[in-house]
């Protein structure tokens, strides 16, 4: 019976934080991140608050623009255009999810790729397809690679199974793991995958990015496997004062079989925020060098 070691995202993020602070101090003008939030989704507000707070700690300038949930698409388009044209702005982030009447993909595609600190623009995702990993990389997969490197988890030649194929996590994660530098052998799985448990059982590294609480349990896991749990799921829990807790996509019992597990919360989440900071600094540097 194994008890997995913890891939501590907080510890890793605080190490990277020091490096970013040093990087920021060498730039003449602090990098400037603009975060746009539309509507009052409570979870989004918490995420955005966290990003702004982290900017402050790192010496990154931030501006929060809050818009009413019923804002028209045209107004939002002109806001993005203004931010693109503003030389004082290094990074633009439109907090997801947007209200249903707004086309999120179309709107994020309007962001200047050089200011696309989320890394979701087709140009930035396309660069990843080309194997170019020196630009703006989606924060969650980028953070996961940094976390695995921090704990010196071997990736080269290993079997990595990514569960989920989203534009935000699964697909860029798969590309990064397969890229030169990581050199993992990658299997991309999704909602239509047959015998998912059997596929996962072959993995040396599992990245779970589905959004289903405790879906992956220890019967799916090869002994010694590394489990990175991306899922953030709210589940009822009467033992908590607020009546709910956060749970990952992996069942806690995976710890009995895996060698390493990332906790939820405290694993991938802090790394995602730190990579947003990293991308903001990178965006500032790239734009100012041009
Ligand atoms: P998404 O809904 O866009 O994608 C989910 C993916 O899971 C899809 O590709 C789908 O094919 C796959 N899927 C759905 N049901 C499945 C099943 N039964 N078996 C196998 N695959 C299945 O979600 P996302 O944006 O990629 O996010 C995934 C999870 O990660 C969510 O819980 C989200 O909250 C969390 N997340 C966490 C962070 C973080 O910083 N920790 C960042 C982004 C997303």
Q: Return the pLDDT at 106.
A: 97
- H-helix or E-strand containing 196? helix 196-201
Ligand 1 centre and the CA of 217: distance in Å? 17
Which pairs with CB-CB distance under 8 Å and at least 24 residues apart come from 130-133?
131/179, 131/180, 133/176, 133/179, 133/181
Q: Spell out the domains of the chain, with CATH numbers in brackets.
A: 31-112 (3.40.50.10860), 138-269 (3.40.50.720)
CA dist 124 and 113 (Å) reads 7
The reported pLDDT for the residue numbered 288 is: 86
Two structure tokens written together for 246:
């956060």
Average pLDDT over residues 128-137: 96
Separation of CA 14 and ligand 1 centre (Å): 26
Q: Is 207 in the pocket of ligand 1 (CB under 6 A)?
A: no
Q: In this predicted structure, what is the pLDDT of residue 1?
A: 65
**Ligand 1 within 6 A of 218 CB?**
no
How much is the pLDDT for 121?
98
Check residue 278 and give its pLDDT: 98
Mean pLDDT, rounded, for 187-197? 98
Cβ partners under 8 Å of residue 200, min gap 6: 161, 163, 189, 206, 216, 220, 221
For atom 6 of ligand 1, the residue with the nearest CA is: 164
Confidence of residue 290 (pLDDT cuts 50, 70, 90): confident
Region 69-78 average pLDDT: 98
Q: Is the pLDDT of residue 289 over 90?
A: no
Catalytic positions, written as ranges: 51, 95, 118
264 lines ligand 1 (CB under 6 A): no
Q: Would you say 248 and 255 are in contact if contact means Cβ atoms under 8 Å apart?
A: no
Distance 209 CA to ligand 1 centre (A): 4
User: If you search the block for the tokens 């793991």, which residue do you land on?
Assistant: 177
Is 166 touching ligand 1 by the criterion CB < 6 Å?
yes
* Mean pLDDT for the stretch of residues 20-32: 96
Strands (E), 125-219: 159-163, 185-189, 205-208
Average pLDDT, the chain: 97
C-beta neighbour count of 197 within 10 angstroms: 13
| 7 has a pLDDT exceeding 90 | yes
Question: Which of 16, 91, 24 is closest to 274 using CA atoms?
Answer: 16
- When pLDDT is cut at 50, 70 and 90, the band that residue 126 belongs to is very high
């Amino acid at each position: 019976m194994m008890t997995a070691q913890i891939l501590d995202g907080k510890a890793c993020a605080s190490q990277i934080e020091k490096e970013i602070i040093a990087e920021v101090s060498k730039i003449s003008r602090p990098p400037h991140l603009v975060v746009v939030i539309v509507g009052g989704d409570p979870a989004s507000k918490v995420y955005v608050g966290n990003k702004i707070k982290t900017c402050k700690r790192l010496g990154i300038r931030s501006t929060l623009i809050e818009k009413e949930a019923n804002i028209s698409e045209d107004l939002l388009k002109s806001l993005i255009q203004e931010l693109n044209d503003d030389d004082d702005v290094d990074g633009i982030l439109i907090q997801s999810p947007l209200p249903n009447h707004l086309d999120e993909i179309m709107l994020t595609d309007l962001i200047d790729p050089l200011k696309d600190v989320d890394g979701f623009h087709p140009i930035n995702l396309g660069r990843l397809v080309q194997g170019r990993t020196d630009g703006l990389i989606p924060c969650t997969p980028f953070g996961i690679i940094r976390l695995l490197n921090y704990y010196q988890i071997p990736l080269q030649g290993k079997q990595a199974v990514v569960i989920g194929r989203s534009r935000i996590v699964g697909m860029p994660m798969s590309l990064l793991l397969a890229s030169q530098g990581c050199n993992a052998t990658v299997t991309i799985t999704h909602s239509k995958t047959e015998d998912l448990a059997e596929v996962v059982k072959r993995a040396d590294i599992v990245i779970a990015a589905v959004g289903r609480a405790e879906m992956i349990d220890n019967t799916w896991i090869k002994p010694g496997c590394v489990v990175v749990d991306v899922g953030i799921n709210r589940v009822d829990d009467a033992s908590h004062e607020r009546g709910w807790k956060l749970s990952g996509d992996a069942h806690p019992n995976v710890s009995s079989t895996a060698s390493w597990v990332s906790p939820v919360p405290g694993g991938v989440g802090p790394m995602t925020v730190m990579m947003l900071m990293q991308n903001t600094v990178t965006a500032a540097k790239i734009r100012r060098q041009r």
